[in-house]
Structure 1
Amino acid sequence: MSFLGAMVMKSQLPENYAHISGMLTGVYIGGTPNMSSIQIAVGADGSLFGALNLADVILGGIYLVFLTSIAPKVFRYFLPERKQVFVENTAKSQQSSTLKPIPNYLYATGFAIAAAGISAGLNFLFLGTINDALFIILLTVFGVAASFIPITRKLTKASKLGDFLLLMFCLAAGMLSDVSMILGSSEPIFIFTGIVLFGSVILHLILAYFFKIDADTVLITGVACLYGPPFVGQVASVMNNRAILVGGMAMGVAGLAVGNLLGIAVAEIVSNFF
């Protein structure tokens, strides 16, 4: 749908259509952190991030109202019902973090600095300078690799530190944004965002119908990609199906992990072939 949006909107956004394709791919596979990373990687203007984020909040908010109201009934009308599978409660096997808050933050910060340093070093070693796209890709790869380290799985506070830094970035991006540009280009950006968001939902439903995927799985995976892990629990409650929660959370985390790579790839493909 990002490729389709690029073809439709290329004439109206000749300078930014490739950047927008990549950023929307990232945000609707992962989340806002992916969109901000891709913006840096492809060299997009800070105002573009603000405009896309505004469009995402408004259009995504409209669809979220539908998801948390009548969507389960609508989806279950067209798609098969999910067979309930009862599994043994494994809550006791999930050990809580043994690290106190300060060690949590120190370890997460230390690893982030180390990953950034190694990524920068590899850039200088092979390119003689820092390439933003390669730098973001390497950081993403190191982040995924860190998830396999046992102590990393116990860092329950690391996500809060990341959220705080993301808010700082958003504040800085907002201060640098050109409001006149956001308002002047709002209509084509809203159309582009709508094509990717609602087009992806429709395509997802069509594929699910032909492959006979049940309604609950379609709903929770769609929420995981379009909105990320924080909204999975909310929609699972509306669906009255908590058994699907773990799978939805896993999909949301997977989207955050691959969103940067796919978003940068889409931006490069659109830039070179469209």
Structure 2
Amino acid sequence: MDIQQPVYILAFLCFLIFLSEWLCKYTKLKHLSSSLLVILLGAIAANFGLIPSASNASPVYDSIFQYVAPASIFFLLLGVNLKELRQAGMPMLIAFGIGALGTMVGVTVALQLINYQDVFGENYAAIAGMMTGTYTGGSANFNAIALEYGMVKEGAIFTGIVVADNIMTTIWMLITLSLPALMRRFRKNPETIARRTTRHIEHTDKEELSPLNLGLLVGIVLVTMFISDWLADWSAGQGVGIPSILILTTIALILAQMEFIKRISGAKLLGMFSVYLFLVVVGAFCEVTALAEVGANAIDILVFTGAIVLVHGLIIVLCGLIFKLDWSIVAIASQANIGGSSTALALAKTFKRTDLVLPAILAGALGTGLGTYLGFLVVGIV
């Protein structure tokens, strides 16, 4: 059987996406994220010769990196409504901003704790930007910067960082769960009740997607990708060199504020499927021989990611002490930075703070919109 057949490859990749979602929903593997699981399944399939690996990569993979991955970022950004941010409340926005600053400081400090040029080689700046993006608001930012600097084809190191990221995100979730109760023993800051809203809060992966919406969304993203590439080439000719993915991010955020675009359902569904299709190919680039090389640096990668989260946490807690912020808000804002909207929402529900459910979602959305810009900024700085 010829495993290089494009139809066979696409069919197998889609099956792996289905399998990862099924395992996360109906088995004990539900404690793993679908993103990590789909990478691992892709790596297993490639190393057993069921689909092409990095050494015999298919043109299908290049097409997914070139078209599907940017489209996934675009679709996910269409859910960022900047006008709603005022409903998050100033305390949440202040805590979130402090947390984002803490992430940037953390990345700088973490680089000094390891021999980053030996561990990451010439990719250290890109990895610093990726971690800044993901610990500002989620994996969409991580993927955007990884795409721009070709890190998606560094399958082993990419997967190593994803694994370390998942470990640290889980640990930080446990810490932020206990943070308010712990800090109230030290200093009982006043509780800030967020302004109530009549808006119905719904956070789900389920969306309606009609042929009408599908055709419109796909058409919009393809036009945006064409414009982004054209503007990137034009700016390079002017000696500026603005990354195409940064232009695409900006256009997506502008479109997301338009009422017409907000009424089109299905963008999140397309975004998540596109992300999984992109990540399963990343997994296919993880050959066992390459993973063995990363194994020697596994501790350094864990130290690097752990230090970023630790410095972020110390800064946001210190500012909570100085500005006497509600500890529940501090914990949720930090989780919006490190884990994104989903984990921030889960934290608000765990604290039984229904008044903070919407602010948690909005803070996560702000991180999705802001993280890519901060990531590219850090790439330039380090």
1:33 maps to 2:140: yes
Alignment of 1:72 with 2:180, yes or no, is: yes
Per-residue deviation, 1:12: 4.6
- 1:42 pairs with one of 123, 142, 149: 149
Correspondence for 2:303 among 191, 194, 197:
191
- Provide the aligned C-alpha RMSD in A: 2.5
Output aligned runs, 1:160-239, within 5 Å: 160-177=269-286, 178-239=290-351
Contact 1:5/1:21 (8 A) holds in 2:
no
Structure 1's 185 and 79: CA in aligned 2 closer, same or farther, altered over 3 A? farther
| Matching of residues 224-263 of structure 1 within 5 Å | 224-263=336-375
- Offset of 1:100 from its aligned partner? 5.2
Determine if the alignment matches structure 1 residue 111 to structure 2 residue 220: yes
For the residues of structure 2 that align with 1:101 and 1:114, how far apart are their CA atoms?
20
Q: Retained in 2: the 8 A contact 1:137–1:261?
A: yes
- Structure 1 equivalent of residue 110 of structure 2: 5
**Which portions of structure 1, spanning 4 or more consecutive aligned residues, are displaced by more than 4 angstroms?**
none
- Supply the distance in 2 between the matched residues of 1:133 and 1:46 (Cα, whole angstroms): 26
Contact 1:26–1:35 (8 Å) recurs in 2: yes
Q: Distance in 2 between matches of 1:193 and 1:81?
A: 32
Unaligned runs of 5+ in 1: 93-98
Tell me the SS of whatever aligns to 1:13: helix
| 1:83-102 deviation line (CA, Å, top 9, x unaligned) | 3356352449xxxxxx8533
| 8 A contact 2:129–2:145 mirrored in 1 | yes
Instruction: Tell me the SS of whatever aligns to 1:213.
Output: coil
- Is 1:267 aligned to residue 365 of structure 2? no
One-letter identity of the residue aligned with 1:39: A
Q: Flag the 1:167–1:91 CA change in 2: closer, same or farther, 3 A.
A: closer
Please tell me whether the aligned partners of residues 80 and 213 of structure 1 are also in contact (alpha carbons under 8 angstroms). yes
Contact 2:179–2:327 (8 Å) recurs in 1: no
Distance 1:161 1:181 in 2: 35
Are the structure 2 counterparts of residues 234 and 199 from structure 1 closer, same or farther at C-alpha, using a change threshold of 3 Å?
A: same
Which letter does structure 2 place at the counterpart of 1:52? I
* Alpha-carbon offset, residue 25 of structure 1: 0.3
* In 2, Cα distance between equivalents of 1:125 and 1:230: 38
